[in-house]
Amino acid sequence: MQALIEEFGQYLRHERGQSEHTQKAYSAILNRFADWADGQQLTRWNDVELTHLLGYLSHRRDSPMPADNDAPKKRGRPRSEPAKLSTESLYLEIAALKAFYRFCVQEQFLPTNIAETLTLPRRWKRLPKALTDAEIERLLRPIEPVTPSTLCDHAMLELCYASGLRLAELRGLRLEQLRLDAGFIQVIGKGNKERIVPVGRRAVEAIERYERSGRNKLAKPGKSPSNLFLTSRGTAFAAGTMWGRIKKRCALAGIERNITPHMLRHSFATHLLEHGADLRVIQELLGHSSIATTEVYTHVAGKRLKAVHQQYHPRG
């Protein structure tokens, strides 16, 4: 069973261009299913039937989530009771199985797609949270003293807010993708899809200042990658390291609420919409394949309109 899982992983990586996060998540789910199937004396994918898939999903839905053995253990503190599988996690389990079986039938590894009739659970729509204009102003103020690392942080924040990049896109941005003289960058998004995104004047200035007085001091000749943003060791950022730097800047700006990796991206889209931008343009800038994904921002803008109406209308 493992051989087909590895084939599927190669397919996701090389043909679908899926992110590393998606590849790992799908592989983990399929390996978990294979372990469960082994306990049911199922050793070949050809032996698996729809009833087995349903039995596995029922088992996953009703069983507590296993403790994360890789998580750091705190001395003297017992582990809390593991939570049951969330709807989001169950959705991902089913999506992985459906994608795997579509691939196997398409490549003629299996005769029939027994996962075709599996129904994805309805997910709650979570409205994106955005920073206020005042919070953005505080966050984007340059801090003293000026060092290569603070110049890097400032350029990251300016670009993230100016262009609505995902964290992975920000981390992976390379020097050859910059077209700052024309006010654009080339972004490689999900599924290896390329899009052209404009960059505002302030972000261009922050990047050029960082390149001129920061990156050249961080880069190690002949060793550093061509990524635009580099750590103090001259290496590309890991996701956790980059996000830790951004959260630290949020704390320095006096932003006390919990900040998530997508919040600057959400702020970019929400503020564009509130200031009159067309939803289709925002879809293109964010790199959404479907307008339905972008439409969530209309709910956020609607709340803003209602608040303004209540504040200023005589009978609001």
Q: Which of 56, 66, 166 is nearest to 100 (CA)?
A: 56
Between CA 22 and CA 33 the distance in angstroms is 17
67 part of a folded domain: yes
pTM for the full model?
Answer: 0.64
DSSP 8-state secondary structure symbol assigned to residue 196: E
Same domain, 91 and 229: no
239 part of a folded domain: yes
Same domain, 159 and 297: yes
Q: Which of 201, 199, 162 is nearest to 177 (CA)?
A: 199
Total count of domains within the chain: 2
Q: How many CB atoms lie within 10 A of CB 271?
A: 20
**How confident is the model over 242-262, as a mean pLDDT?**
88
Q: How confident is the model at residue 303 (pLDDT cuts 50, 70, 90)?
A: low
- SS3 of residue 21 by DSSP: helix
Given a contact cutoff of 8 angstroms between Cβ atoms, the answer to whether 27 and 9 are in contact is yes
| Residues forming the active site | 166, 190, 262, 265, 288, 297
Task: State the pLDDT at residue 78.
Answer: 41
* Boundaries of domain holding 296: 133-312
For 229-247, how does the pLDDT look when each residue is reduced to its tens digit (9 = 90+)? Answer: 999 999 999 988 998 999 9
Same domain, 142 and 244: yes
Of all residues in the chain, the percent with pLDDT exceeding 90 is: 51
Task: State the pLDDT at residue 233.
Answer: 93
